[in-house]
């Protein structure tokens, strides 16, 4: 581990376009940092590229330009063994939990331990129960995903994400679809687990009130660019028009609404 660096993740002039849309850059030479040991919120309008950023961090996608650094190493240049080693230091909570429907709560959380370690089953059992206890669901160990609520499923997914004691935990829309109590509980868990376990957390969210309440560091992404980065106060005080539009929920402004496309004159069969 590069202990001398205060940033666990850093993007340096990263651009990215999906192969199916090569002419449309999702990200345009963006640079930002994720400070070690802090909770970083990645916010911005839908389609801004927030989930793409998480995919680049985990090495699911690779960019031909710029650098995606994890603990000083370029994820985009890693060979498979090195990438798998780096991923064991990461945890991921997917947008809708992504639990295995035919496995119990216990087996869902045990999966990464059985997949990536040679620990005896008795020790795996104790680790799983500790992780479930941390999210308040030790008593649900024998249930199946269809037998728990949406909020409980999200907490189970969180227990699975921290099963290997990762250094970095990425959350993709952890508050989506939750009722107010479950939302506040999930937000508090992210904050408490980050501090208690010495994690570095980055999460994508549109729930601004709870997001800004628990974040140490904020990155606002819009139109494929970093519109603002800094503390909550610094982002709130930004005069960037894209930041003002997003934080104040204004319908009109510089943030793109239409996905890039050909002109209407070119796209329609008959002249308008």
Q: What is the pLDDT of residues 139-149, one digit of tens each?
A: 888 989 888 88
pLDDT beyond 70 at 1: no
pTM of the model: 0.82
User: Is the C-alpha dihedral spanning 222, 226, 231, 235 positive or negative?
Assistant: negative
Angle formed by the axes of helices 105-116 and 121-134, nearest 10°: 130
Rounded Cα distance between 18 and 194, Å, is 32
What are the CA-CA distances from residue 83 to residues 70, 118, 166, 170, 245 (Å)?
Answer: 10, 20, 14, 16, 38
How far is the C-alpha of 223 from the C-alpha of 194, rounded, in Å?
30
The pLDDT value given to residue 3: 44
- Check residue 259 and report its DSSP letter: P
Q: What is the per-residue pLDDT for 179? A: 79
User: pLDDT tens, 11-37?
Assistant: 999 998 887 776 677 888 899 999 999
Q: Is 90 exceeded by the pLDDT of residue 269?
A: no
pLDDT exceeds cutoff 90 at 173 = no
In 3D space, the residue among 139, 218, 148 whose CA is nearest the CA of residue 182 turns out to be 148
Query: What pLDDT was estimated at residue 200?
Result: 93
What percent of the chain shows pLDDT beyond 90? 26
Mean pLDDT of the chain: 85
Q: Residue 187's pLDDT band (boundaries 50, 70, 90)?
A: confident
Quote the pLDDT of residue 10.
93
Task: Concatenate the DSSP letters of all residues of 236-257 into one string.
Answer: HT---HHHHHHHTT-SSSSS--
- The pLDDT of residue 100 is 82
pLDDT confidence band for 128 (50 / 70 / 90) = very high
Model confidence at 264, in pLDDT bands (50, 70, 90)?
low
């Amino acid at each position: 581990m590069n202990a001398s660096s205060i940033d666990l993740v850093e993007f340096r002039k990263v651009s990215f376009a999906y192969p199916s849309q090569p002419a449309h850059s999702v990200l345009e030479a963006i640079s930002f940092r994720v400070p070690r040991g802090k909770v970083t919120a990645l916010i911005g309008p839908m389609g801004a590229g927030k989930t793409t950023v998480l995919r680049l961090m985990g090495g699911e996608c690779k960019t031909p330009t710029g650098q995606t650094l994890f603990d000083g190493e370029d994820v985009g240049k890693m060979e498979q063994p090195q990438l798998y080693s780096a991923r064991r230091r990461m945890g991921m909570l997917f947008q809708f939990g992504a639990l295995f429907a035919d496995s119990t709560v216990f087996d869902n959380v045990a999966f990464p331990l059985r997949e990536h370690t040679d620990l005896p089953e008795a020790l795996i059992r104790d680790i799983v129960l500790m992780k479930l206890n941390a999210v308040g669901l030790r008593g649900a160990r024998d249930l199946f995903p269809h037998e728990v609520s949406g909020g409980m499923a999200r907490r189970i997914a969180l227990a699975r994400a921290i099963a290997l004691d990762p250094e970095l935990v990425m959350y993709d829309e952890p508050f989506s679809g939750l009722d107010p109590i479950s939302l506040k509980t999930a937000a508090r868990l992210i904050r408490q687990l980050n501090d208690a376990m010495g994690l570095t957390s980055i999460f994508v969210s549109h729930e601004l009130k709870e997001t800004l309440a628990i974040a140490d560091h904020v990155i606002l992404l819009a139109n494929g660019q970093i519109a603002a980065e800094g503390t909550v106060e610094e982002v709130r005080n930004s005069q960037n028009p894209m930041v003002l539009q997003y934080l104040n929920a204004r319908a009109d402004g510089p943030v793109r609404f239409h996905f890039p496309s050909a002109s209407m004159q070119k796209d329609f069969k008959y002249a308008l």
